[in-house]
Amino acid sequence: MKETKQKLPMSISYTINQDAKPAEVVTLFDNSRIRRPTGDIDRIGKMIRNANLTVSARDGKKLVGILRALTDFSYCCYISDLAVDKEYQRHGIGRELIQIARETVGERVMLLLLSSPEADSFYSHIGLKKVENAWQIPRKK
């Protein structure tokens, strides 16, 4: 049986670099099923405070999506989080968060993100190009 997404009555507003509270980000991360250290609210708070570009999506007062990035606004922009509440997925919110980030940093800036395997098809669907030339030193925790 094919699953269908219901239409949600929503009026999504987007803001750039507006304060998102750590507790609401934890709720969003948990509801989006993104794997982040949501049991450590202090760490989530540092993640938010130290990002120099955040784009938030809200349905009324409810945080339903967030893009968190580090950028020099000149050459590169690393998107470290892109999360949309599971109930709000497949309605263009993630695509719009990326588009707003793109408009904010400009076309001369490369956008880069690391994807979980579960999200690979989403990123290719919205036009991101997969690259194979990345390296990392994994985090300890």
Domain range enclosing 20: 12-125
Evaluate whether residue 58 is within a structural domain: yes
Evaluate whether residue 103 is within a structural domain: yes
Evaluate whether residue 27 is within a structural domain: yes
Evaluate whether residue 139 is within a structural domain: no
Whole-model pTM: value is 0.84
CATH code, domain carrying 95: 3.40.630.30
Label residues 64-82 b or e (16+ Cβ within 10 Å = b): bbbbbbebeeeeebbbbbb
Question: pLDDT of 28-45, one tens digit each?
Answer: 999 998 989 999 999 999
Evaluate whether residue 141 is within a structural domain: no
What is the total count of domains within the chain? 1
**Most distant CA pair in the chain, distance:** 48
Strand partners, 55: 16, 67
SS3 call for 68 = strand
Using CA of residue 129, residue 86, residue 83, residue 32, what is the dihedral sign? negative
Question: pLDDT of 63-99, one tens digit each?
Answer: 999 999 999 999 999 999 999 999 999 999 999 999 9
